């Protein structure tokens, strides 16, 4: 499992540097932002496991950052801790009530006390299984709740995404290289949805396996899937060594000692919309989406393992 990521949003350089140095020394991966817009951009591209927010920033208040995180289905699960000089009762109520932050700490603070609170909040998030340990994307119960809410609406589209050949890749290159591929896939999903989609669109990572979920509207999901498959096929080769890139495949010795050739990883994407229903529960929805994705996997095999999309009734 990779390091847990903490985002520090603080415009005072000395405090920002203190927090970054301290939490890095404690084994965390720490990102910093001095402006609210930069913080939101980081959260959209690479969601952190936890955010430490100041209130007084040059371009916006930390409260507004927190509200933006809570408003998006992609980031509303991120624990928020305020670190601020604003300690009036109305300030605390705003942070804990309006933003629904987990903690509100007034400066000056005890760094070890802050660390204890951070550890406890990260442990609680892990216990609730809210984010994937590698990509930090929503997972498990959050995905289930989102799909359950989806079924009560119209005009939605769901894409189930699988990385074909991922297990073989990790056997050949190791678990760390496999985690890098998962992070690459998550980054690619986030960049594509941020560019072509809407704030309300959702990205999730199933807790087991190289499987992702994207929800949007039918008019958005098609260009998103087209961009995903094109970019993935163009860029996935960078995760292989020079020899494999040159020959265009990898060689693996099977249990019988026979050397077999396997193509590079690809995506198989199955897409459903509300028009493909009715779906009566998320189990039926998930099973139907997986059947659709299996059809995409068959198309991928027919196309020499290039990434493929299979649409439901919108095809």
CATH number, residue 170: 3.30.70.270
Asked if residue 134 is part of any domain, the answer here is: no
Indicate if the pLDDT at residue 28 is higher than 90: yes
248-262 residues labelled b (16+ CB within 10 A) or e (exposed): eebeeeeeeeeeeee
**Nearest CA among 150, 308, 287 for reference residue 216:** 150
Confidence band, pLDDT 50/70/90 cuts, at residue 277:
confident
> How many CA within 13 A on the CB side of residue 48?
27
Write down which residue in 102, 128, 154 finishes a domain. Answer: 128
Mean pLDDT of the residues in the chain = 92
Q: Is the pLDDT higher at 261 or at 307?
A: 307
Whether residue 303 is found in the same domain as residue 158: yes
Specify the number of domains making up the chain: 2
Indicate if the pLDDT at residue 315 is higher than 50: no
Question: CB–CB of 51/81 below 8 Å?
Answer: yes
Q: How does pLDDT run across 194-228, given as a tens digit for each residue?
A: 999 988 999 999 988 899 999 999 999 999 999 99
Residues with Cβ within 8 Å of 307's Cβ and at least 6 positions away in sequence, in order, are 228, 229, 230, 232, 233, 266, 267, 268, 269, 300
Confidence band, pLDDT 50/70/90 cuts, at residue 1:
low
Indicate if the pLDDT at residue 2 is higher than 80: no
Write down which residue in 96, 128, 160 finishes a domain. Answer: 128
Tell me the CATH number at 89.
Answer: 3.40.50.2300
Q: What is the mean pLDDT of residues 219-244?
A: 95
Single pTM value for the model: 0.84
Contacts 24+ apart (CB under 8 A), 88-93: 91/55
Question: Residue 46 belongs to what domain range?
Answer: 5-128
Residue 245: its H or E element? helix 242-247
pLDDT for residue 314: 52
Question: CB–CB of 31/50 below 8 Å?
Answer: no
Write down which residue in 66, 93, 128 finishes a domain. Answer: 128
Asked if residue 133 is part of any domain, the answer here is: no
Q: What is the mean pLDDT of residues 238-243?
A: 93
Confidence band, pLDDT 50/70/90 cuts, at residue 130:
confident
Whether residue 147 is found in the same domain as residue 89: no
Asked if residue 213 is part of any domain, the answer here is: yes
Place of tokens 């393992």: 305
Whether residue 197 is found in the same domain as residue 91: no
Q: How does pLDDT run across 52-65, given as a tens digit for each residue?
A: 999 999 999 999 99
pLDDT for residue 97: 95
């Amino acid at each position: 499992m990779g390091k847990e990521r903490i985002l520090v949003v603080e415009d005072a350089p000395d405090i920002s540097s203190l927090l970054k140095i301290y939490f890095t020394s404690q084994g965390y991966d720490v990102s910093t932002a001095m402006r609210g817009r930069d913080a939101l951009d980081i959260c959209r591209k690479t969601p952190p496991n936890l955010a430490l927010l100041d209130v007084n920033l040059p371009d916006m208040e930390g409260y507004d950052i927190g509200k933006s995180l809570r408003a998006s289905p992609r980031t509303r699960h991120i624990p928020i801790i305020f670190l601020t000089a604003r300690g009036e009762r109305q300030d605390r109520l705003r942070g804990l009530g309006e933003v629904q932050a987990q903690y509100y700490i007034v400066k000056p603070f005890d760094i070890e006390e802050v660390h204890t609170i951070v550890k406890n909040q990260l442990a609680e998030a892990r216990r609730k299984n809210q984010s994937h340990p590698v990509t930090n994307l929503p997972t498990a119960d959050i995905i289930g709740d989102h799909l359950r809410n989806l079924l009560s609406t119209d005009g939605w589209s769901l894409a189930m995404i699988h990385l074909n050949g991922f297990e073989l890749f990790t056997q050949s290159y190791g678990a760390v290289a496999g985690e890098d591929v998962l992070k690459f896939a998550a980054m690619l999903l986030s960049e594509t949805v941020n560019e072509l989609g809407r704030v309300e669109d959702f990205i999730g990572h199933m807790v087991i396996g190289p499987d992702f979920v994207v929800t949007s509207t039918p008019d958005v999901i098609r260009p998103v899937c087209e961009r995903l498959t094109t970019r993935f096929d163009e860029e996935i080769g960078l995760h292989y060594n020079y020899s494999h890139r040159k020959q265009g495949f990898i060689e693996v010795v099977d249990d019988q000692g026979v050397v077999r050739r396997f193509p590079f990883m690809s995506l198989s994407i199955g897409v459903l919309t509300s028009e493909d229903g009715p779906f009566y529960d998320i189990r039926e929805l998930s099973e139907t989406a997986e059947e659709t994705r299996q059809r995409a996997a068959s198309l991928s095999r027919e196309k020499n393992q290039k990434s493929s999309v299979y649409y439901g009734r919108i095809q």
